[in-house]
Amino acid sequence: GSPEAGRLPKTAFGNGLEINSDGATVWTRGSGPLQSWNVRSSDLQGPAFACDGNEFRISPNGQRMAVAGSGVYVRDATTGAEQLKLTDGTPMVDVDWSSDGQRIAVVRPSGKVEIRNATTGDVVREFADDRGACNGVKWSPDGRWLAATGSAAATLRVWDAETGDVRWNADGIRG
């Protein structure tokens, strides 16, 4: 049933929040498993499932999710079934879907950013940020640019996603 007065339980919050592209489902990652909720009714939908990562993103079509943690795991967003597992002993810090859902961008703590095929896991392109650790990545809506941030040096770098060329970067960002 619905939580009292349409409120989600406190355990549903903390480490992540995503809304499907159709606006009908909200995903949360709190102290427990990943869970999905119907926006209109606040009813829990589908099975909740455990993951070892804090960062997760729902694919543009709402059918898959990617979770960054000890690796990157791509799962069916309805059943939680694992579709792809990318692990090599190195943690993954963040992940984001391209607008067409065909590629995922993955951040490693070393500052390396990878574009991977979202079905096979193959590396399509690698970007190195020699200024230190990265902690976030985001695609532009048109898929042309890829941006990554680094907290230690307060950096921002934007790459052309097709050529790998650095479009621009900024250091010492505060705000």
**The pLDDT value given to residue 2:** 42
pLDDT tens by residue, 57-83: 999 998 999 988 888 999 988 888 899
How many CA within 13 A on the CB side of residue 92?
A: 30
SS3 20: coil
Distance, in Å, from the CA atom of 67 to the CA atom of 155, rounded to the nearest integer, reads 24
pLDDT tier at 45, thresholds 50, 70, 90: confident
Distance, in Å, from the CA atom of 77 to the CA atom of 108, rounded to the nearest integer, reads 24
pLDDT tens by residue, 113-132: 899 999 999 999 998 766 66
**The pLDDT value given to residue 103:** 96
85: pLDDT strictly greater than 60:
yes
Q: Match 């307060």 to its residue by tokens.
A: 154
The mean per-residue pLDDT over the stretch 136-145 comes to 92
Nearest by Cα to 109 from 86, 139, 138, 132: 132
* Prediction pTM value: 0.81
Nearest by Cα to 58 from 93, 31, 21: 21
Mean pLDDT of the chain: 81
State the maximum Cα–Cα separation within the chain, in Å, rounded to a whole number: 52
